[in-house]
Each structure stands twice: as C-alpha cells, then as structure tokens.
Structure 1
Amino acid sequence: MKNTFIARNPSVLWFLAGLAIFTILVTVMSEATGLGLISTSFLKTLGKTLCLCLVAIAMDVVWGYCGILSLGHFAFFGIGGYAIGMWLMYARTEGIVLTSLEANALPPTVTEITDAVGGQIFGVVGSSEFPMIWAFSHSLPLQLLAVVLVPGLLALVFGWLAFRSRVTGVYLSILTQAMTLALSLYFFQNDTGLRGNNGLSGLQNIPGLEDQSQAVVSLWFFWASAIALALGYVLFAYVVSGKFGSVIRAIRDNEARVRFLGYHVEHYKLFVFTLTAMVAGVAGALYYPQAGIINPAEIAPIASIYLAVWVAIGGRGRLYGAVIGAALVSLLSSWFTGGSAPDINLGFYVIKWTDWWLVLLGLSFVLVTLFFPKGIGGIFDALAKKTPPDREGDFGPDKGAWRNEEGEPS
C-alpha cells in the first residue's frame, strides 16, 4: 500500500476533496438552484478561473518540473478556444439562417445554406467564402478533436525542431514567445476568417440549449471546468511521480548529466511539452464559451507571461501551487479591474486600481521572486515539513547511523 499512487501523492486526495466541496457549495448557492447567493456572472468568473487553474498546472509541469520556461502556452489555450469557437459560430449562424429561410417557397439547398452562413460570419471582413481552417467547423466531433490535436501537433513540431537542436534557456523562451506572436498576428489576418480584432463573439449562446437559461448553462460549464481540473490534476500528478517525474526533474536541475547517463532528454521534453499543450487546448475550449468572446489579443505574448507569473506566485514545482497562484491572481484581477475595489484618495492623487492593477501584479512577482522563491505553495511545504529522524552516530553504514544522502540534522 505504501507504493500506491495515492500513498505517494496524498495531496491529490486533499485537492480533489477540496475541489468537490467547493463545487458543491457553489452549486447550492448559484442562481440555477434558486438560492441566488452567487450571481450568474460571478459563476462564470469562477468557471473561467478553474480553466485558468488547469492551464497553470500545465505550465507548472513544463516549467516547474521540466525546466522549460515556455512563453507560448497560452497560445495553445487560445487555439483550443478558437477551435470550439468556430463550431459555435457556425452552428448558431446556421440556425439563424435556417429560420430566416423557412418562409421560402422552395427548401434551400446545401450550397445556399453554406453561402448564407458564410456571408453572416465573414461579412464583417468583406467575404463569404469559408477559409481552409474552417473546413470542419460544421462538425462538433471534428472540432473537439481539433481542440486537442491542433495544439498537440503544433507543440510536437515546434518542440521537435527546438529540442533536437538543443535550444535551451532564454533562447527557447524567446522562440516560444516568437511562436505566440506569429500566431496572434496570423489570427489578425482577414483571410483566416477569424474576424480579425473583432474575434468570435456570442460564444455563450450554445446551439441546442436556447431553451435553457444562462444560469443553468453557466452551471453546467462550471461543472465541466471542475471535472476537467480534477482530471488534469490527477493526470499530471501521475506524470510527475515515479521514475518519469524523477527524470524530468533531473533534466530541470542538470540536463547535461541526465544526457550523460544515457537518457533521451529530447524525448522526455517533447512528451511533456506536447501533453501540456493538449491540456491547455482543452482548458481554452472550456474557458471561452464562458467568456463569450475570443480575439487575437487573448493569445498575445503578454498572456503567456502572465501565466508564468501566476505559477511563480503560487509556487513553481508544486501542482497545488499553480492552482493557488492562478486562482488568486485571476480573482484579484477581476476584483481590481472590474470596479469592485474602491479607489484610494491620497489628497494629491487618486489611486484607481483599474490603472494600477498591473503595477501591483508586477510588484508582487518581484517580491515573491526575491523573498519567497517557493511562492505561496512554500507555506504549505513548511507546514508539512517532517522533522529528521532521531538517530545517533556517524555517516557510516551501521544501523541507526546518519546516511550521507540524508545530510546534516537540523
């Protein structure tokens, strides 16, 4: 029993129990159940926060455990959002078109419906033709596959090219940031059909659920986000435990030594980079229907930098630390930038938090880096720290002696 996954990772049960209690409490207090202590808008905020926690865990695995500071993982998050957003736009527009054509004497042909849908979606950019990337937007199963496969394939190709060339450190970070910038600029172009800076909007209107209130739909998405976060946490806890977890932590600490020991470092890094990208895509697919809109600004390089800040504040190299950092910063951001935080009048100057929030976030990152390198998660480590065994003797092999690898007693 001591070698079971749960025995080696007791924090998993604690996390799942806490998430389950939180989900139940939010459900009971939501408008959908009639109590109404939590508004639908705040319920959406909580659901989106769970999605951000999931992508933060992915970022923590690739950076905190494997040592790859990726400044492009929010791009995978955005790709997942665009993949599901294209189907939502197509299906909702198709419903509107079919309703408007019901009065015609003759039933519309498939071509007429497709042209009408294209005109409605792409008219804002002066076109009615479906671009190539919209080829499967009519099919929900195919778009759901794209949510996972497109980020995974992009990460696989990018990672293979970068890791086989042994690009590491700040140079790899710059490359991932360049990839993110290139994607955001590509999404801005009109020929992608993604409507440029306007983005894809109205994503909160789910086709087939028009009869359901937004309170109910938001609660369903909140449940889906909670389930995805729970599964993602268990998945990554399993990945970072055991021999595989030891190897990727060794790669983080001393890649050259791991390579010298005969491990294929590139394979490990590529697996972690690709898997975390796919999970980030799932998180994005759940996030943007709750946000209601996605545009290229959402995946600009600064978004991936924010993601790294969340992980650093929460505690790099700790899955629960990534969750704490993402949840804390996300909720505080909503509070400060949403107008809920009161302005502070200093007499000679009025501090408006909508203008100063990013300054506060940057200052928090600097302070955590300088004085609390283990982040908020380090507090839990200190509380759970085990005292050294009560042993006497030297560093020899005798029974009861201190082993050399155990170090000096504190």
Structure 2
Amino acid sequence: MRRESFFARNPSVVVFLLCLAAFTLVVSVMSEGAGAGLISTSFIKTLGKTLCLCLVAVAMDLVWGYTGILSLGHFAFFGLGGYMVGMWLMYQRTHDIVAASMANATIPPTEQEIVDAIGTQIFGVVGSSEFPPVWAFADSLVIQLALVVLIPGLLALVFGWLAFRSRVTGVYLSILTQAMTLALSLYLFQNDSGLRGNNGLSGLQNLPGVEASQAVVSIWFLWASALALGLGYLLAAWVVSGKFGSVIRGIRDDEARVRFLGYSVEGYKLFIFVLTAVIAGIAGALYYPQAGIINPAEVAPIASIYLAVWVAIGGRGRLYGAVIGAAFVSLVSTWFTGGQVPSVNLGFYRIDWVEWWQVILGLSFVLVTLFAPKGIGGLFDLLAGRIVPNRHGADYGPDKGSFQEAEGRE
C-alpha cells in the first residue's frame, strides 16, 4: 500500500505556506523599501512583528491546544530570546559609536579603553560602568544567536523537568508557569540584574555595520519573520501529525489513560514544553529588533495571558487558528491603541478606545469561550466544508467534544 506524503495528508499546511508566501511578496512589492511606497515603513514593521507574534502563538497552541498544558509563561521565553539578540545589537552599535568618537584622539585608545567607554555608555544609566558576567559573549553574534535557543530551552528544560516529574497538572501548573514569569520579570527590573533594569535595551532597530535605510531593513526582517513562521508552522504540523501527535492529544484528553498504556507522559510533555520555548525564543529574537526596544515589562505575566487569549480567540487545537487569532488581535489592537479610531462622545461619557481596548479584548475572550469554543478557526472549517463523520453520537475521545480524528487530518 502506497503511503501518502506529509503534504498530501496535510493540505492545510500547503495552503498556509502559499498564503504566507503570497502575503510576503505582495507586501514587499508595495513597501517603501521596494520603491512603490504604498505601505509605510512603520506599518511594514508592524506586519513583521505580527508574524513573530503568530509564531509564538503557534508554539502556544502546540503546548496548550494539542498537549493540554496551559502555560502562562511562554512570553518569558519570547522576551529572553529578545534580550539575547538585543545584547549583541546594543553592544556592537555602542562599540561603533565609541570607536568612531575616539578615532581622532591624539593617542590611539587601547582596546580596554574602548571596552571601558562602551561599559560607561551602556550601564551609566544604572550607575555602573563595568560589564556584568551575563554580557561575557555580547561581542559575538554567533554565540548570542546560540543563546537565543539555549537560554529559553534550558530554562524550560529545568522548569519542565521539576514540574512534570512531580506530576503537577491543570491550574496548579498554570500558576507555577505564571510564578516563573513573574519572578523573571521582577529580577529583570532590578538594576543589578545586568540588563539595565527597567530601562531595558534600546536602539535595537539599528543594525551594526549596515548602511541600508530602515525601509530596506524592515523588509529584511519581514522576510526573516515570514521564513521563521513558515518553518515553525511546518515543524509544528509535522509534530502533531502521525503517532506522536496522537499521543500528545491523548495526553491532553486523558493523561492517566495514556500513562496506563505505557507511554512516558512526562517525556512527551517535557519535549513539547522545551520545543515551544525554543520557538518562542526565536520569535522574540526577530520581534524586538523590529520593535527597537525591550524592557522587563515585556515578560510580565499579563503578556503570557494575552498570548493564551489570542490562541483561544483564533481557535486552539488548530495551528492556523493560532495564527489567525494572533494576527487578528495584534492588528486590531494596533488600530485601536494607535489613536486611529475616533472617540465616541455620549454626552454623559466619552469613550476613548485606547482605554477601552483591553475591556473589548476581555469580553471577546469570554464570548468566544462561551459561544464559539472553536474560535475564528471554526469559521474556516465551515467555509471549507469540513464535515464531521457520523459516529452515531459518540465522542472521538474520552472527553466530551474532543475531535481527535478531525484534528488528525490537519
């Protein structure tokens, strides 16, 4: 019997990749960097950042929608990835500025004098001039890029091993992940953390040694973000397909039964937790050079809660649903909070959408949870004519409403 290829068994993956490629091409051609000037550079950056948020949403859907682990700490991994690449960007940019300013000195400066001047420039804002140990490899792009993967991965490995071996599940695990994120955020807020406290890292939009304009650089990051999202989506789709995907969905629906069948539940959960942490770190490393700044507020627990809301609105348990949810909420949020929506004067009260956006987002989450648990992705199922096979009223899994067979075809 001839075995179907991965793409034949997962046509939605092909559709998604083609749509992503077409979107990237059209936006690139219409950008200021390409000369058309129909889309501003600032909006190109917004779209690039949105693609990064879609990637971390795919990671969240993989760990929550498919494995059943409601992590409220995955934005911490996202922020750590940003900090790792941000350290190199800030160090190298400051090095270029300092070296240029000292080049015309009567006595050429030594390398140590340049390093000391860089330290004063970077850490003077927190009353220091010496490089903390965490900046030991900040001058090496290769090492910092490796740390983008290693730091979130190692943190997830240690945390996940301790939590899963203790068989912490459900709301207790969610609270632990949130506590981890809060502890990391509070640590980063301290001036002696080595990462400039609440000042964070800034000027990250300037690529050292690159003379290209921001219009061109924004296109480069858009391409990189689209490529990362495409590869991340493909990897996630491959992970959830086949036997491995069936096992993690079984863990989500009935962990005790999967353990009884002899599977190493803790091993599967740890693998998914670490993998999604690494994906989140890569997404953060691409996001913050486009944002231009990162500070400890970016890894606060509320950010991870927003991430869960995006996936829920898009439709958890559907990779394309996570992408749709993240893109929709991100772009609508930019529209509301950017002051583009006119305020409404009711006479007795003035509705300012910048302040009311979070209320709208919260209400949307509640309404989707109550009345549309499949999220926006469920609408695409209807449009695609996806019909659930008649099982004479029986559920597909041990939990009521779990559609394991249908999910296996994604």
Q: Give the shorter-chain TM-score range.
A: over 0.9
Unaligned runs of 5+ in 2: 392-403, 406-410
For the structure 1 residues 390 and 352, does the alpha-carbon distance in structure 2 shift closer, same or farther, using more than 3 Å as the test? closer
Deviation per residue, 1:153-199 (Å, 9 max, x gap):
00000000000000000000000000000111111111122111111
CA distance in structure 2 between the aligned counterparts of 1:176 and 1:235, rounded to whole angstroms:
24
- Secondary structure in 2 matching 1:262: coil
- Secondary structure in 2 matching 1:212: coil
Q: How does 1:10-409 map to 2 (within 5 A)?
A: 10-209=11-210, 211-387=211-387
State the 1:110 CA deviation: 1.9
CA contact (8 A) 1:2 1:8 kept: no
CA distance in structure 1 between the aligned counterparts of 2:264 and 2:127, rounded to whole angstroms:
50
Deviation per residue, 1:88-116 (Å, 9 max, x gap):
11000000110111112332222111111
CA distance in structure 1 between the aligned counterparts of 2:200 and 2:275, rounded to whole angstroms:
27
CA distance in structure 2 between the aligned counterparts of 1:388 and 1:58, rounded to whole angstroms:
26
- Secondary structure in 1 matching 2:33: helix
Deviation per residue, 1:215-257 (Å, 9 max, x gap):
0001100110000000000000000100000000000000000
CA distance in structure 1 between the aligned counterparts of 2:389 and 2:202, rounded to whole angstroms:
60
Larger Rg over CA atoms? 1
CA distance in structure 2 between the aligned counterparts of 1:278 and 1:319, rounded to whole angstroms:
17
- Secondary structure in 2 matching 1:310: helix
CA contact (8 A) 2:165 2:266 kept: yes
For the structure 1 residues 388 and 331, does the alpha-carbon distance in structure 2 shift closer, same or farther, using more than 3 Å as the test? closer
CA contact (8 A) 1:162 1:172 kept: yes
CA contact (8 A) 2:191 2:198 kept: no
For the structure 1 residues 111 and 388, does the alpha-carbon distance in structure 2 shift closer, same or farther, using more than 3 Å as the test? closer
For the structure 1 residues 350 and 158, does the alpha-carbon distance in structure 2 shift closer, same or farther, using more than 3 Å as the test? same
CA contact (8 A) 1:66 1:248 kept: yes
Letter in 2 for 1:304: S
CA contact (8 A) 2:44 2:219 kept: yes
State the 1:47 CA deviation: 0.2
Letter in 1 for 2:22: I
1:394 maps to none
Letter in 2 for 1:233: Y
1:400 maps to none
Unaligned runs of 5+ in 1: 392-404
State the 1:382 CA deviation: 2.5
Letter in 1 for 2:343: D
State the 1:389 CA deviation: 7.7
CA distance in structure 1 between the aligned counterparts of 2:259 and 2:282, rounded to whole angstroms:
32
Q: Percent identity?
A: 76
State the 1:384 CA deviation: 3.2
Matched residue count: 393
CA distance in structure 2 between the aligned counterparts of 1:333 and 1:31, rounded to whole angstroms:
24
State the 1:388 CA deviation: 7.2
CA distance in structure 2 between the aligned counterparts of 1:305 and 1:181, rounded to whole angstroms:
12
CA distance in structure 1 between the aligned counterparts of 2:337 and 2:297, rounded to whole angstroms:
17
State the 1:386 CA deviation: 4.7
CA contact (8 A) 2:75 2:303 kept: yes
TM-score (norm 1): 0.93
For the structure 1 residues 388 and 360, does the alpha-carbon distance in structure 2 shift closer, same or farther, using more than 3 Å as the test? closer
TM-score (norm 2): 0.93
CA contact (8 A) 1:203 1:292 kept: yes
Letter in 2 for 1:125: V
- Secondary structure in 2 matching 1:96: helix
State the 1:48 CA deviation: 0.2
